[in-house]
């Protein structure tokens, strides 16, 4: 049996987002008559951009129909969790929201279109909130996480908070939210409750990854 090898030296570009410490990565995709090959995480590039490699503790996946909104989710800090997210199938508008009290970009957000054509990914540092809206049925999102999922450490801010103004409503489709996200507090309410991550604490945990 003959195996044909193709040089797939992985290359990608990194772009810092409007939220401090968050990045978009765009890898090179290698298509051929069989399909395609792509490296969705590249340690050298990631380390150069963020200052550290990504310590994968857990990989998770979600599937969503068009109009589903998941988030804005974040982890108690400490322990804090960083995430590396990409779309394996379908399309999603991925949203990175700065929830770190004291951050120079607190309350700001940025968005990245994730799909199965370009295989962009987003990196969310410790303390930064994550949300997305599925733009197609059966959109599959893959999450690499720096720590375990512990239910009591997981929180949410409402993706419909008008003060945030997240673009989560699609034409002709009402946002589909979980019960948890439907009753989630606004950003201001979450701050009053004292559940939002602290900026300096988040940076210290990020540096320790």
Query: Annotated catalytic sites, by residue?
Result: 73, 143
3-class DSSP string for the chain: CCCCCCCCCCCEEEEECCCCCCEEEEECEEEECCEEEECCCCHHHHHHHHCCCCCCCEEEEEEECCCEEEEEEEECCCCCCCEEEEEEECEEEEEEEECCECCCCCCCEEEEEEECCCCCEEEECCCEEEEEEECCCCEEEEEEECCCCCHHHEEECCCCCCCCCCCCCECCECCECCHHHHCCCCHHHHHHHCCCCEHHHHHHHHHCC
Question: What is the Cα–Cα distance from 153 to 118, expressed in whole angstroms?
Answer: 33
Q: How buried is 176 (Cβ within 10 angstroms: 0-12 exposed, 13-18 middle, 19+ buried)?
A: middle
């Amino acid at each position: 049996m003959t195996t044909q090898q193709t040089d797939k030296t992985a290359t990608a570009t990194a772009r810092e987002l409007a939220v401090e410490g968050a990045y978009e990565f765009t890898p090179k995709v290698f298509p051929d008559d069989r399909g395609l090959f792509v490296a969705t995480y590249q340690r050298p590039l990631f380390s150069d951009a963020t200052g550290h490699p990504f310590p994968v503790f857990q990989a998770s996946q979600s599937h969503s129909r068009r109009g589903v909104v998941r988030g804005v989710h974040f982890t108690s800090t400490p322990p804090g969790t960083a995430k590396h997210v990409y779309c394996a199938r379908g399309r999603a508008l991925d949203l990175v929201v700065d929830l770190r009290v004291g951050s120079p970009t607190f309350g700001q957000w940025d968005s990245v279109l994730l799909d199965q054509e370009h295989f962009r990914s987003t990196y969310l540092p410790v303390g930064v909130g994550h949300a997305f809206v599925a733009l197609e049925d059966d959109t599959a999102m893959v999450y690499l996480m720096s720590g375990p999922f512990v239910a009591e450490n997981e929180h949410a801010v409402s993706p419909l908070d008008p003060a945030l103004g997240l673009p989560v409503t699609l034409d002709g489709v009402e946002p589909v939210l979980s019960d948890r996200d439907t009753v989630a507090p606004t950003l201001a309410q979450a701050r009053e409750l004292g559940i939002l991550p602290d900026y300096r604490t988040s940076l210290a945990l990020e540096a320790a990854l």
